[in-house]
Every structure is written in C-alpha cells, then in structure tokens.
Amino acid sequence: MNSNCVSSRRGQIWPPKSGGGNLNHDRINRGYFRVLVLFILVTLAACFMFSNNLSEKCFQFLPSSFYNISFSRSDNSNVYAGKANDENSLGSILKKASMKDKKTVIITTLNAAWTEPNSIFDLFLESFRIGNQTESLLKHVVVVALDQKAYSRCLEVHLHCYALTIAGLDHSSGQAHFMSKDYLKMMWRRIDFLRTVLELGYDFVFTDADVTWLRNPFPRFYPDGDFQISCDRYRYNSTYLNNSPNGGFNYVKANNRTVQFYKFWYTGRDYFPGKHDQDVLDMIKFNPFIKEIGLKMRFLDTAYFGGFCQPSKDLDLVITMHANCCSRLESKIHDIKMVIEDWKKYMALPLRDERNLSPRTWTLKRICSYG
C-alpha cells in the first residue's frame, strides 16, 4: 500500500450487489457533490505528486461515492431527416445485421470527414472485400453515423446505417481533431451507445473505420473473455493489466458484467473531465470494482491485431491493422492504402509456399512513424 496516497474508508461498490437501481440525481446534495469532486481531485493530485503516476493503488482509495453516483444521459438520439431514432429502431437494425448463429454484430462510427469518397470509409469497406474470409462479414457491419453527411453517404454504399446525434456537437468543420471538445464528445457518446447495444443483448466487435480487416478475427478471440481489446503496445500476455489498451478495436460479450463495466467506464467521464475514454480505461482497469463484478478482461496480441504503434510483422498471422499513432487524416489514408497494396501483393502469390519464400512484412517507408 502506498502511504503517500490520500485514503478514505471504502464503502459499498457501485452498483449495489443487490441489483438496485442507480441513485437519482435529485437525491445528491449539490454542495456535497462539489466537496466530493474537490476531494477526489486532491486525492489524485497527491498520489500523482508522490508516485509520478496514477497507479492502481491510488484508485483503491477513492471514496465510495465514486462508485455510487451515476449520471443521467443528456445526449439524445434521433434519425436525420426528421425520423425518430429510438432503441426499438436500433434493435431492428441490430437484428437485421446480427449473425444467424449468435446475436453478434460489428459496429463502426463515422463522421463527415471519414466518409468522403476515396477516404477512410471506402478503404475500410475495401479491406473487407480483399481480406481472407472477411467479405461475408460486411453484412453484419452496422455503421453508426454521427452527422447528416456521414449518414447520407452510408445509405449510398452500405446496408445497415444508424444515425446518432450528439448534443452540442459542432458540425461546421466536418472533422473533430484529436482531443478537441467535439472529439471527446464523440468518444464518450460512443461508450454510452455501446452500453445500449449490450443492454439490448448483442455481442459486438467495435472497430474504428481506420482499422484494416485482413482476416476473420473470431477464431482468434478468447472463449473466456467478456471484454477483449486491442493494444497500442502489447506486453507479456493477454491478462497483463499494464498492456496499453486501444479502444479502436474490441470484442465484447453482452452480459450483466459488461453492462455494469460500461456504465462504470462512462461515469469516469465526469470524474476525469477532459480525458479521453481510452485514458480513463487505462486508469480504471486496475480498480477493484472490475474484480467485484467478475469481468474477464483480455488484451489482444499485436502479432495478430496490430497497428502503426506496434505493427504486426508477419503477414501469415496478421488479422487487423489499425492506423493508430497517426493523427493526420491524409497520413492515415496514405498509409492504409500502402497496407492494402502490400496485402494484395501477398494474396496474389499463388501458393502458400511461394508466400513463405518471399518477404512477409510491410513496406517500411510510411508517413506515419512507428513507435
């Protein structure tokens, strides 16, 4: 135990084990809430000052109210062009897109900038068509559009499209830059939306649209993992909590554990304002609440689920390649095209033996620098 961390007595972990509902906002005294937030900020600041990082031990001593307070959602969803979007219409789309043998869908989110012709979305769809046993998965992909332009573009080229608006989002620029206010709104709304999908009883693979799909990932997922997530950097094994998760690709099974986990994750938005959902995940993954609910978390090996931060090196093994560690849209597009060209050349080799005789790695000269 780190004696430098400010501690407080642990209380009942949210949500109550008895299955009781979330506390209503009206029952929380405004003055108490302000004092609570101030206490948490002082706690974390003190811990960071003495240990130079927000370690798992620091989070063990947050007050019990951190787990007991939940926040009502203010973001409303509606279909563009005036049609009301509700959980029933979402349920209908998920049902149509679901795999026959199990309630599983593939979900991606898009805004206007990523749906321009010959941009990220087109490359995303192309990867499914040229991948090994991936084209059939396209009929299970649900595209969640975050603005009118993305929704209209999706309807032109894809089967399953869902419109999701975000309160207060500025659509004038067409692109939400990394860590801007609009970017953070989209990332947190995504977490809240995925929680809804779980509550409707659907397992899902969430994938950013800048992930190139080259093989069917389902055979490589762990059978005992509730929440499986890709990594910027993978170390040691799939249960090692110091792996660096990347929310751009994950496989989640619908059950009570994952629903509680996504609620807990989303609540972190209010306790760590200005933080990316991925940053918050990197902190709460150590929290004892995860063990309390029995969530089985697995980290996916970059040898199979790679990215530009830590690329898959063997084309015989690679399943997906994520354009992470690359913030500029033009750079992403350029390098994803290079990945696709490398894959086409690899797949064009007539025999497996011939593939093994040739270099089985990627073109090295890219705009996005590898870490």
Per-residue confidence (pLDDT) for residue 49, from 0 to 100: 56
Per-residue confidence (pLDDT) for residue 165, from 0 to 100: 72
Instruction: Find all residues with CB under 8 Å of 196, minimum gap 6, and list them.
Output: 87, 90
Q: Which of 217, 22, 182, 210 is nearest to 104 (CA)?
A: 217
What pairing do the DSSP bridges indicate for beta strands 160-163 and 141-145?
Answer: parallel
Give 302's DSSP letter: T
Tokens of 156: 């032109």
Please give the domain boundaries of the chain with CATH numbers for all domains.
1-70 (no CATH), 80-299 (3.90.550)
Tokens of 320: 């997906």
335 and 323 in contact (C-beta within 8 Å)? yes
Q: Which of 132, 153, 330, 146 is nearest to 212 (CA)?
A: 132
As a whole number of angstroms, the distance between CA 190 and CA 40 comes to: 25
Please state the separation of Cα 85 from the chain's center in Å.
22
Per-residue confidence (pLDDT) for residue 10, from 0 to 100: 32
List per-residue pLDDT tens for the chain, 371 residues long: 433 333 333 333 333 333 334 434 444 444 545 555 566 666 666 655 554 454 444 544 444 344 433 333 333 334 443 343 555 499 999 999 999 888 999 999 998 989 988 899 999 999 999 999 999 999 999 999 988 999 999 999 999 999 987 655 544 444 544 445 666 777 778 999 999 999 999 999 999 999 999 999 999 999 999 999 999 999 989 999 999 999 999 999 999 999 999 999 999 888 887 788 888 999 999 999 999 999 999 999 999 999 999 998 889 999 999 999 998 899 999 999 999 999 998 888 876 666 666 657 787 667 786 54
At residue 295, what are phi and psi to the nearest 5 degrees?
Answer: -70, 130
What does the CA dihedral 139, 142, 147, 151 come to, rounded to 10 degrees?
20
Give 108's DSSP letter: E
Per-residue confidence (pLDDT) for residue 14, from 0 to 100: 30
Q: What pTM was estimated for this model as a whole?
A: 0.76
Per-residue confidence (pLDDT) for residue 70, from 0 to 100: 36
Q: In what order do the strands lie in the sheet with 305-307?
A: 211-213, 320-322, 305-307
As a whole number of angstroms, the distance between CA 108 and CA 214 comes to: 16
Q: What is the largest CA-CA distance in the chain?
A: 71
